[in-house]
Amino acid sequence: MGAVPSDIEIARAARKQPIFEIGAKLGIPAESLVPYGHDKAKISPDFIAAQKGRPDGKLILVTAINPTPAGEGKTTTTVGLGDGLNRIGKRAIICVREPSLGPCFGVKGGAAGGGYAQVVPMEDINLHFTGDFHAITAAHNLLSAMVDNHIYWGNALDLDLRRITWKRVMDMNDRALRQIVGPLGGVSNGFARETGFDITVASEIMAILCLATDLKDLEARLGAIIVGYRRDRTPVFARDLKADGAMAVLLKDAMQPNLVQTLENNPAFVHGGPFANIAHGCNSVVATRTALKLADYVVTEAGFGADLGAEKFFDIKCRKAGLSPSAAVIVATVRALKMNGGVAKPDLSQENVEALRAGCVNLGRHIENLQKFGVPVVVAINHFSSDTEAEVAAVKAYAAALGVEAILCRHWADGSAGIEDLARRVAQIAEDGTARFKPLYADDLSLFSKIEKVAREIYRAGEVTAERAVLAQLRSFEEQGYGHLPVCIAKTQYSFSTNPDLLGAPSGHVVPVREVRLSAGAGFVVAITGEIRTMPGLPRSPSAERIRLNAEGHVEGLF
């Protein structure tokens, strides 16, 4: 067996087809594609609107066990499954999120899949791409500037300077901006207050863009953003500042899905990328809905593990966008399951069936959870070369005991040829039509009860605690008419509990809700458990130090 070249080597060797040919495969005429270079395009709003009457294809969610440093390969499997479905003769589109630019200069590499299951052009996708995130940054910061400008010119809306909740954003890992005081400098600059920056993917506008159904809905949601409160605690909205129209103008191109291709020249929509903690962590509704009109199968992914990502995909995105998934794939790796069974990272390459079996409880818990949403489940074992036959067999046996099939997938090394079995199984489940999707909780449950329901039934907490002030805040949201919204719980992605070190399948733990925030434009209430950073920092030796253009003008060091 020959060594697989690096992701970037594979991506550069890709024989890309012109993007108009990729569009043509989906029946999109050239004039309905807005090209960005020869290998990226946005789909025009007119074309999208014209698809309304067409029937929907089947929606497949790819999710995963809790992430570990061993790596699971969720995006890689999403891309691989899309290629696999195309290989077996189905017309499939992949829908994934856009990566954030800032973190590429820190520690992480790109987020466009890996091995022989990638979307390309990966360098562009990981850097400026089609400018969507820059547009979100601009729209967010326009609103911020209008808030301070309003105060500067007399504060007619009577905003309480201590209660301004709208911060600024930047698509950069810049911890120095987390907490600042400004404007300083006296009369000509404004009124000093405490504020700060989040990373762009944490902007409520990112979540709004990903949940809005069209430009009109986008503008309405932008107007509904709460920028802060008056002394009497009544909210001030973006529409009160008349900022909604200009923000929508800045976002009009960003709202259109981006079409690219996989290494195997199959179509992929890469669009939107909200955080999966303080937001819902899925690609845009517009992309998913458009893909469903154009394909028999749409394969999409949700952020982090299934406890966070899949739950939000179901309870926020599917609920609000009226989507009904046909099947869910849980990605697991032998290595990650062994970590869940207590094996340390340096020892992961040694066979350890016993630890693996112990770690399978994490997988089992996620299977059980997904079934609560009425969606049939299949497990994808994303193959690593160190996996032994006995280990793979143990995972299969574990899943089988739960009535679920676990299928070994070699898409990373072999592309679509390595994932045919999974593709056939997924297609069969979807065509059997056994899914009976329903969200976990009803809209009319109280906000705290919704949090409790997710914590108890998905995280398996014994108790949910909250200070009196937090409960009062939730009641006040309800009084203001936001009680019907779904909840979006920000929790560590590494454990079912709020303790990132508690791997496996803990239960009976306490989930403390430290803070709640209203994302009135996006349409959910965020409940924060534990410490959630919305502006990352750079490491001691950031990868930016090694990123440069080589003599041929290619990017080096990014991946």
| Binding residues among 153-172 for its own copies as defined by CB under 8 A | 153, 168, 170-172
Q: Applying CB under 8 A, does 34 fall inside the site for its own copies?
A: yes
- Shortest distance in whole angstroms from residue 295 CB to its own copies: 25
Q: 401 labelled as ligand-binding?
A: no
The residue annotated as part of the active site, out of 40, 42, 76, 477, is 76
Asked whether residue 69 is marked as a ligand-binding residue, the answer is yes
- DSSP H or E segment with residue 94: strand 92-96
* Residue 73 assigned to a binding site: yes
- Which member of 12, 25, 35, 217 binds its own copies (CB under 8 A)? 35
- The footprint of its own copies on residues 392-421 (CB under 8 A) is none
Pairing of strands 509-513, 461-466: parallel
Site for its own copies in 174-203 (CB under 8 A): 174-185, 188-190, 194, 196
Identity of the residue, 136 or 447, whose beta carbon is nearer to its own copies in the bound complex: 136
Tell me the per-residue interface mask from 40 to 79 with its own copies, x by CB under 8 A, - otherwise. -----x----------------------------------
> Distance (Å, rounded) from C-alpha 184 to C-alpha 188?
9
Q: How many residues does the chain have?
A: 559
User: Which one of 31-39, 54-62, 324-332, 463-471 is the stretch in contact with its own copies (CB under 8 A)?
Assistant: 31-39
In whole angstroms, how close is the CB of 272 to its own copies at the nearest point? 17
Among 88, 157, 246, 532, binds its own copies (CB under 8 A): 246
Helix ranges, 170-303 (H)? 204-211, 215-223, 244-251, 285-294
The helix (run of H) or strand (run of E) holding residue 451 is: helix 447-457
- Considering only residues 281 to 300 of the shown chain, the ones binding its own copies according to CB under 8 A are none
- Shortest distance in whole angstroms from residue 495 CB to its own copies: 22
String marking each residue 210-239 x if it binds its own copies according to CB under 8 A: -----x---x--------------------
Q: Which of 531, 530, 441 is nearest to 487 (CA)?
A: 441
Are 498 and 509 in contact, with CB atoms under 8 Å apart? yes
- Tell me how many residues contact its own copies (CB under 8 A): 74
Closer to its own copies by Cβ: residue 37 or 322: 37
- Rounded to an integer, what is the distance from CA 542 to the centroid of its chain? 24
CA separation for the pair 209, 290 (Å, rounded)? 15
Residue ranges of alpha helices (H) inside 295-442 are 311-312, 319-321, 334-340, 353-371, 389-401, 411-414, 420-432
Pair of tokens at residue 104: 């590429």
- Please identify which of the residues 276, 306, 394, 399 carries the catalytic annotation: 276
User: Is 384 part of the annotated catalytic residue set?
Assistant: yes
* 156 labeled binding residue: no
Phi-psi region of 130 (alpha: psi -120 to 50; beta: other; left: phi over 0): alpha
Residue 90 is classified by DSSP as -
Which residues ranging from 526 to 545 are in contact with its own copies (CB under 8 A)? 537-538, 540, 542, 544-545
Rounded distance between C-alpha atoms, residue 93 and residue 262, angstroms: 10
Identify the active-site residue in 129, 133, 384, 496. Answer: 384
Closest alpha carbon to 139 in 193, 74, 218, 66: 218
The verdict on whether omega for the bond into residue 121 sits within 30 degrees of 0, i.e. cis, is yes
Q: Is residue 68 annotated as involved in ligand binding?
A: yes
- 281 known ligand binder: no
Nearest distance, CB of residue 530 and its own copies, angstroms: 15
What CA–CA distances, in Å, run from 128 to 8, 134, 265, 336? Answer: 17, 8, 22, 32
97 is annotated as an active-site residue: yes
149 is an interface residue for its own copies by CB under 8 A: yes
For every residue of 275-303, DSSP letters joined together read -SSSS--B--HHHHHHHHHH-SEEEEEBS
514 binds its own copies (CB under 8 A): no
Please tell me which residue in 40, 87, 90, 97 is annotated as part of the active site: 97
Question: Hey, what's the torsion of the CAs at 57, 50, 207, 130, to 10 degrees?
Answer: 100
Q: Which is nearer to its own copies, 182 or 483 (CB)?
A: 182
State yes or no: is 108 an active-site residue: yes
Smallest distance, Å, CB 186 to its own copies? 9
Task: Pick out residues in 95-124 that bind its own copies (CB under 8 A).
Answer: 101, 105
* Cβ 419 to its own copies shortest distance, Å: 32
What span, in angstroms and rounded, lies between the C-alpha atoms of 528 and 9?
A: 40
| 76 catalytically annotated | yes
State the binding site for ATP: 68-75
Question: Which residues are the active-site residues?
Answer: 74, 76, 97, 108, 276, 304, 384, 412
State the binding site: 68-75
